[in-house]
Structure 1
């Protein structure tokens, strides 16, 4: 995580390292079915908390989904006392980098958000790693906000496994825990730093893949 804050003088070297990394590749959406079960539109809260690697890219994708009213980058799974960038970077807090997605259920459902999450927002078959980032803070995890969300998430994971939607096993966990917003400089990082080498290498392709795969969902 500390690579995010390298001085500008190192940006060129970082860009070269990322772009030539053996993990670097063009993002693409995995075609998966819609969930067979979904949360009723009148069920509150209309908030989803999802973890799937660096929160910059996750935030950027979901900010572009119709019906999403706000996205906050943060930490989930640990305690309030350890919900800071430096502490989470130590991989000892139990936190995962996560996003809190507020949405209008009249426009987009919880199940649809999960479809985007599994298909293109991250790789649900990668254990404690996403792209060039490794560690438990980059794990794939869903933090349901009520019993209905928990039931839908569990049902959808089972559905995708039965359909063999992915060539490798899904490792996504369903967890409990609070959500704590990250520091201000992490919020809307994609839009504020469009030329950052990490954004260019990993997150712009992901956003493009979302728009290509889900044109009717994109703002």
Structure 2
């Protein structure tokens, strides 16, 4: 695996845009986005590792889970902005995990499970900050959203067996925090 800012295997089009999000275990996050936006403008989504520290050798699941790399398990999304807005994507992002917990989602603990939005343009960074403020007000009043918002600096694709893992392994582990919330956290 080699690093870049864009997954070398992510499908894109000349008009597609990208966003990279981290919301805990990447298997469930990938599944929710693909299921929710499959026919609504999602072009592709890949799981991988974002914004860690440079290390010797390839970035692997085992190294990320060791806690020594500071990479987040993340999902890189390619979408058609004429059919799907970044605001819609981020609304779902904030509702499919608990962005008020530091470095954890349910039983999953460690920096790899942090909540983060890694933007690919300054404009998208501003939209992410607005989405965070709106979600704070609408979905998490009385709690502090701790989601990091920063530019994507480095990306490694997750290993092949992690891509579409829950589709390939229907009984596989799925973080209990990955569901679409319909009411605010109280």
TM-score of the aligned structures, taking structure 1 as reference length:
0.68
Structure whose alpha-carbon radius of gyration is higher: 1
The answer to which structure has the higher helix fraction is 1
For 1:189, which of 161, 165, 178 is the aligned residue? 165
For 2:139, which of 165, 173, 178 is the aligned residue? 165
Farther off after superposition, 57-66 or 81-90 = 81-90
SS in 1 for 2:130: helix
User: Residues of 1 paired with 2:109 and 2:58: CA distance?
Assistant: 19
Corresponding residue for 1:108? 84
The alignment's C-alpha RMSD in Å is 2.2
SS in 2 for 1:56: helix
For 1:89, which of 62, 65, 70 is the aligned residue? 65
8 Å contact kept, 1:46–1:103: yes
8 Å contact kept, 1:57–1:202: no
Corresponding residue for 2:156? 180
User: Residues of 2 paired with 1:71 and 1:159: CA distance?
Assistant: 25
User: Residues of 2 paired with 1:69 and 1:94: CA distance?
Assistant: 28
Unaligned runs of 5+ in 2: 1-14
User: Residues of 2 paired with 1:45 and 1:174: CA distance?
Assistant: 21
Q: Pairwise mapping of residues 64-213 of structure 1 onto structure 2 (< 5 A)?
A: 64=35, 65=37, 66-78=40-52, 79=54, 81=57, 83-120=59-96, 122-161=97-136, 163=137, 165-166=139-140, 167-176=142-151, 177-196=153-172, 198-199=173-174, 202=176, 206=179, 209=180
Q: Shift in Å at residue 100 of structure 1?
A: 0.4
User: Residues of 1 paired with 2:148 and 2:82: CA distance?
Assistant: 27
8 Å contact kept, 1:59–1:71: yes
- 4+ runs deviating over 3 angstroms: 79-82
User: Residues of 2 paired with 1:202 and 1:158: CA distance?
Assistant: 25
TM-score of the aligned structures, taking structure 2 as reference length:
0.79
Give the paired residue count. 162
